[in-house]
Structure 1
Amino acid sequence: MKKLQKFRRNTSGSFTIEASMLFPMILIITFLLIFFSIVIYHKAMLQFEANRIADEMAYTWNNSSKDARTGEFNEYTTDNDDGLYWRIADNHFLEQFGIPRLGGESALVQTKTSRFTSNYEVEVQFQNQLLGNQIEVTIQQPVPLPSGFTDVFGLSVLHGNSTRTITEPTELIRNTDFVVYFTEKAHSSAEKYIARFRED
């Protein structure tokens, strides 16, 4: 009996037992924090890359010869295929009125949406809407972690998505103002001509 009480009071080795119980929990929590930081880092990188590509697309959309990063160009829009009137037939404009594209996807739109460099799997979509054109960039990448971790949390692919509105150049704005001005003048001239014709 005395030996049992002496054994219960003896604390030698208790630190080893407690450490062997706590160490696996601390190790698991540490690995979880490391994996979580890796996922957040890659998610931020994907979102940054999507934002960069969308910005470049929207900035250089009005001229296919522009450099995607700097915006420099050697040819004006009238020197290549994307002059003013390409927006009518090749810019998916007619789709808004139920008229399908002839010959499939516009080659010019494909040219504009492929002018980027990236190490990721990127998908660029162009949307022509009545109130404005948009570029939507989607990037996806497998999670760079062990398969056991991805299976437990159900996360195997990371996504990055970014949308930018394309602003039209001043050339189109000037021509639109000219058409409005010419239409008003033609209408007023026609009214004067009709009134004079009735008087005669």
Structure 2
Amino acid sequence: MLMPTLLIVTFLLVFYALFTAQNAIVHYNSAVTAERAAFNWSHAESEFATGAYEDGRYDGLYWRLTDDALLQGLFGWTAGESADSLTFPGAADPRDRLTLRKLYPAAEALSENWEGSIRYERGGIQREIAVSAADPGELSPLALLRGSSVASSESSAPVTEPAEWMRTFDLVRYYTAKVKREGGGAESYLGKAGSLLGRKADAQSQ
């Protein structure tokens, strides 16, 4: 009885070691993908692996405006969806929404070996890229030990754009001062300014 027991325990330990290694690989890849997507966020046309982009290929100046809670509050814009997401594998190349086009290279990079989703989440002034990835393969004996036989991971990385943050802050400060000078016509002035900036943002988000 001793040898069969030792053999079973040995196999379980081997399976557990394989699962732990696979879990680490999934976590590493999801974390790297989230960080690269966040790093490249300011340039939709950049090379995903390196962040390099062709000279003169820039995103529009106004596309982020309706995505910022500070400006939504100032101009009375209604908040849009709090997250944009793509699932992989099988994610179609989205041409109708800029945020999804920015997520697509990351989803494509993970789709060869993993399945899951990548999301652009925003709330208040915080924005981040969140990745959920799992290995489609299963090690069924491990379900008895840890309740799951699938190696999976969730990672996130903040989207930081210091220059854009400063520009947004200056824009809010400028219009706040203008509104104070307008007095009774402040609401009408904000409505016109918000309408103009909103049209620019919508045009560049496509």
TM-score normalized by the length of structure 2: 0.65
TM superposition shift of 1:165:
0.8
Q: Please, what is the CA RMSD of the aligned residues?
A: 3.2
The code of the aligned residue for 2:136 comes to P
Higher RCO (Cα < 8 Å, 6 or more apart): 2
* Alpha-carbon offset, residue 88 of structure 1: 2.4
Corresponding residue number in structure 2 for 1:137: 131
Match of 1:38 in 2: 18
Structure 2 residue 160 is matched with structure 1 residue 167? yes
Distance in 2 of aligned mates of 1:144 and 1:62: 37
The one-letter code of the counterpart of 1:68 is F
Alignment of 1:4-153 (within 5 A): 21-76=1-56, 79-80=57-58, 82-89=59-66, 91=67, 98-100=78-80, 107-116=97-106, 117-118=109-110, 119-145=113-139, 147=140, 149-150=141-142, 152-153=144-145
Aligned-partner residue type, residue 88 of structure 1: L
Deviation at 1:84, TM superposition (A): 2.2
Partner AA of 1:46 in structure 2: V
Q: Which runs of 5+ in 1 are unaligned?
A: 1-20, 192-200
Contact 2:114 2:136 in 1 (8 A): no
Is the CA contact 1:139–1:160 (under 8 Å) kept in the aligned structure 2?
yes
**Per-residue CA shift, 1:159-180, capped at 9, x if unaligned?**
110011100142x244235435
Q: Is the 8 A contact 1:142 1:156 kept in 2?
A: no
1:155 aligns with 2:154: no
Secondary structure at the counterpart of residue 142 of structure 1: coil
CA deviation string 1:57-111 (max 9, x = no partner): 11000111111111111144xx45x32211124x4866x964446xx98611111
Kindly provide the amino acid, as one letter, of the partner of residue 102 in structure 2.
Answer: K
> How many residue pairs end up in the alignment?
162
SS of residue paired to 2:28: helix
Code of the residue aligned with 1:179 in structure 2: it is L
Q: What SS is found at the alignment partner of 1:39?
A: helix
In the superposition, the TM-score normalised over structure 1's length comes to: 0.67
Task: Please say which structure displays the higher CA radius of gyration.
Answer: 1
Secondary structure of residue in 1 paired with 2:135: strand
Look up the equivalent residue of 1:84 and give its one-letter code: L
Identity %: 25
